[in-house]
Amino acid sequence: MTVPLSVLELSPVAKAAGAAGGAEALRHTTELARRTEEFGYRRFWVAEHHNMPGIASSSPAVLLAHLAAHTSTISLGSGGVMLPNHAPLVIAEQFGMLAALHPGRIDLGIGRAPGADQRTAMALRRTVEGLSAEDFPQELAEVIGMLDGDPARLMAVPQAETPPQIWLLGSSGYSAQLAGHLGLPFSFAHHFSSRNTEPALALYRESFQPSRWLSAPHAMVAVNAVAADTDEHAAYLAKPGLLSFLRLRSGRPQAMDSPAVAAEYEFDAFEEDFAAERRVGQALGSPDTVRRQLGELLERTRADELMITSQVYDIEDRVRSYELIAKIAADGF
Domain count for the chain: 1
Spatial contact of 11 and 244, defined as CB atoms under 8 Å apart: no
**Which domain, by its residues, includes 292?**
5-331
Predicted local confidence at residue 185, as pLDDT: 98
Predicted local confidence at residue 262, as pLDDT: 95
Where residue 133 falls among pLDDT bands split at 50, 70, 90? Answer: low
Q: Whose CA is closest to 323, among 2, 38, 47?
A: 38
Mean pLDDT of 77-105: 95
In angstroms, the CA 108 to CA 234 distance is 32
Name the percent of the chain lying above pLDDT 90: 78
In angstroms, the CA 318 to CA 315 distance is 5
Predicted local confidence at residue 127, as pLDDT: 60
Q: With 60 as the cut, is the pLDDT of residue 260 above it? A: yes
Least confident of 43-47, 125-129, 202-206, 211-215: 125-129
Predicted local confidence at residue 291, as pLDDT: 97
Q: What is the CATH classification number for the domain harbouring 154?
A: 3.20.20.30
Distances (CA, A) of 262 to 22, 52, 310: 20, 19, 16
Least confident of 131-135, 227-231, 311-315: 131-135
Q: With 70 as the cut, is the pLDDT of residue 34 above it? A: yes
Least confident of 22-26, 54-58, 258-262: 54-58
Q: Whose CA is closest to 222, among 183, 184, 194?
A: 194
Q: List, for residues 235-257, the tens digit of each pLDDT value.
A: 999 999 999 988 988 888 899 99
Least confident of 69-83, 90-104, 124-138, 270-284: 124-138
Q: Assign 107 to helix, strand or coil.
A: strand
Mean pLDDT of 312-333: 96
Q: With 60 as the cut, is the pLDDT of residue 128 above it? A: no
Q: Assign 301 to helix, strand or coil.
A: helix
In angstroms, the CA 292 to CA 278 distance is 18
Q: With 60 as the cut, is the pLDDT of residue 164 above it? A: yes
Spatial contact of 312 and 239, defined as CB atoms under 8 Å apart: no
DSSP per-residue string spanning 151-202: TTS---SSPPSSPPEEEEEESSHHHHHHHHHHT--EEE-TTT-GGGHHHHHH
Predicted local confidence at residue 134, as pLDDT: 72
Q: With 70 as the cut, is the pLDDT of residue 115 above it? A: no
Q: Whose CA is closest to 169, among 111, 116, 91?
A: 111
